Amino acid sequence: MTRMIAIAGKGGVGKTTCAALMLRALAAAGVRPLLAVDADPNANLHLLLGLPQPVGLGAVREEILSGAGGATSKEALLEAMVQQRVAEGKDVDLIAMGRGEGPGCYCYVNNLLRQSLSRLAGGYEAVVVDNEAGMEHLSRRNLRRIDHLVIVADPSPRGIAAARAIRGLADQLALPVGNAWVLLNRPYAAGETGEPLSLPAPLLAGIPHDPALPAWEAAGRSFLDLPDGAPAVRAISGGIRGMLREDVR
């Protein structure tokens, strides 16, 4: 069965960077092919994966409502349009939710995301969803099943409080979460340490300060090609191995 992995966290905590690192670690562990879902309306995950910017599902809205496709059923048209919007890579494919067109909320786009995920997921070993900041996406129940909820946090009091709020909301909504984890994205410089933290879920990994990451990104290189010895890669790889062990228990 396809693993469904959802990444959540407050704004500016590094969710997209952590999503790219997780995809790299999963592929290296033999979990492939992978589908990455950029569910943030301000999509930029493609920049870290070395993939072209996909056309967001939000653009499908106007095409469907305009009657594009003639006599073709909306379901068949939607299926074809979603497939066309998958940016394909060697081990990782990418689809983006994009923005809704015109006034109003993203309700229609979110419904498209649910439908497209259910159709696409069966062809992949795992789906990694990089969610928008905050907690609203959880309340919209965009995912019918979450095998692993990864809450990205920094070690600040506000960061841990935000992680605790996300975990609490998931419990309050009785979301179908198999395992919840905290992925600690540490802003500390090498050699610094923080106080012991009270986390709302088991620690998946602590990503150390790694100067290679901004340099790699600035050069336009894919995080999927980061070397095995990079500190961030070593840290996330250990966490992913622990996650995969939970799947076989």
The domain of 145 spans 3-247
State both tokens at 116: 């497209």
What pLDDT score was predicted for residue 117? 67
Spell out where the chain has E strands.
Answer: 3-8, 34-39, 92-96, 126-131, 146-153, 177-185, 203-207
Q: DSSP labels for 55-76?
A: PPTHHHHHHHHTTTTTTS-HHH
Q: What is the DSSP letter of 232?
A: H
List of residues 6+ apart from 46 with CB closer than 8 A? 38, 52, 53, 54, 87, 94, 96
What are phi and psi for residue 72, nearest 5 degrees?
Answer: -65, 135
Distance CA 62, CA 102 (A): 9
β-pair partners for 134: 9
Please state the domain count of the chain: 1
Tell me the pLDDT of the chain (249 aa) as tens digits.
889 999 999 988 999 999 999 999 999 999 999 999 998 888 899 999 999 988 887 777 667 666 665 555 666 777 777 888 899 999 999 998 876 545 555 566 556 657 766 777 889 999 999 998 877 667 666 677 899 999 999 988 899 999 999 999 999 988 889 999 999 997 554 444 555 678 999 999 999 989 889 999 999 999 999 999 999 999 999 999 999 998 866
pTM exceeds 0.95: no
CATH of the domain at 242: 3.40.50.300
What pLDDT score was predicted for residue 34? 97
Alpha helix (H) residue ranges in 66-201: 74-84, 107-120, 136-139, 157-172
